[in-house]
Amino acid sequence: MKNKITLTIIALISIFNLYAQESIIFNKDYAWSKDDKSVTIHFDLAVYAPNTFYDVSIIASLNGKKVKATTTKGDLGGYVESGEGKRITWDITADLGELKTTDVLTVDLVAHKVKTQILAKSSKTPKILGWSSIGIGSLVAGYGVYTELNASSDYKIYKENTDESASVYTDMELTRNELYDDANGRHKTAQTLMIAGGTLVLTGITVLIMKKISANKIRKAITVLPVVSPGFVSLGNIKPQYNIFVSYSF
Q: Rounded to whole angstroms, how far apart are CA atoms 32 and 185?
A: 69
Rounded to an integer, the average pLDDT of 219-238 is 42
Rounded distance, CA 192 to CA 202, Å?
15
Instruction: Select the more confidently predicted residue: 195 or 173.
Output: 195
| 68-90: average pLDDT | 91
The string of pLDDT tens digits covering residues 35-44 is: 888 889 999 9
Does domain 2-114+223-248 fall under CATH 3.30.70.1290? My reply is no
Closest alpha carbon to 206 in 148, 120, 133, 157: 133
Q: How far is CA 15 from the centre of its chain?
A: 35
CA distance 235 to 101: 7
CA atoms within 13 A on the CB side of 180: 9
Tell me what percent of the residues of the chain surpass a pLDDT of 70: 71
pLDDT tier, 107 (very low <50, low <70, confident <90, very high otherwise):
confident
- % of residues, the chain, pLDDT over 90: 23
The pLDDT-based confidence of 218 (bands split at 50, 70, 90) is very low
